[in-house]
Amino acid sequence: MSAITMRALTKVYPNGVRALDALDLEITDGEFFALLGPSGCGKTTLLRTIAGLELASGGSVHIGDRAVTQLPPGKRDVAMVFQDYALFPHMTVRENIAYPLRIKKVDRRARGEKAAETADELGLSALLDRRPGQLSGGQQQRVALARAMACHPQVFLLDEPLSNLDARLRLEARTFLKRLQRELGVTTVFVTHDQAEALALADRIAVMEGGRIRQVGTPTEVFRRP
């Protein structure tokens, strides 16, 4: 069970900014869910709170029937891909992909095999010994996805992972993400400020504003003309 439930979720940063304001949201198991909204409305904070990277100031986040705050980071079945990919520059592609497995204490040989297998699925086999600085933007983005996938997470959190790609690579990446979700049944939460992207990918869309959900529904419901 990997549905995500947020109840009265509030995040106030130490500087007093209320980034999430008693937000309620339910994301269904296996859903491709897009979070849309202007810069500063709280999208990144919401993802980081689901991932357990930010502590909530109030309310709760559950993944299945477990509160994320009760699980230590290594036990959370959640993977997050950031806007800037955040690859380790001094590590090879192989080491980058295997890194989360190292955190999970998977043994060395199994890590190497899993990294190679995941790289193969993403068409990265020829690049395993390169470092991020020797890759194109699109290749770096796929390495970031591979690193997130290697653990077979139940929940996949994506923070504008396509925003640095050109139009062609973006289209390729969209097709790829959709295939992942269909084939692996991973619950995916995708942050974007691009309506077309949300329309192309999402089963449902939530529009955020000022730390709250303003509207939630299927793409047709959300973009229906009044």
Residues that bind ligand ADP (CB under 6 A): 13, 15, 17, 19, 37, 39-45, 83
**Is the CB of 40 or the CB of 217 nearer to ligand ADP?**
40
Whole-angstrom distance, CA of residue 14 vs CA of residue 104: 31
Residues in the chain: 226
Smallest gap from Cβ 26 to ligand ADP, in A, equals: 20
**Is the CB of 5 or the CB of 164 nearer to ligand ADP?**
164
Tokens, residue 212: 């709250």
Whole-angstrom distance, CA of residue 120 vs CA of residue 101: 17
Per DSSP, 106 falls in state -
Smallest gap from Cβ 17 to ligand ADP, in A, equals: 4
Smallest gap from Cβ 202 to ligand ADP, in A, equals: 17
**Is the CB of 5 or the CB of 83 nearer to ligand ADP?**
83
CA distances from 187 to 113, 205, 206 (A): 25, 14, 15
Q: Provide the terminal-to-terminal Cα distance of the chain, rounded to the nearest Å.
A: 36
Smallest gap from Cβ 163 to ligand ADP, in A, equals: 9
**Is the CB of 84 or the CB of 120 nearer to ligand ADP?**
84
Smallest gap from Cβ 83 to ligand ADP, in A, equals: 6
**Is the CB of 100 or the CB of 211 nearer to ligand ADP?**
211
- 82 residue type, one letter: F
Hey, is 8 helix, strand or coil? strand
Per DSSP, 86 falls in state -
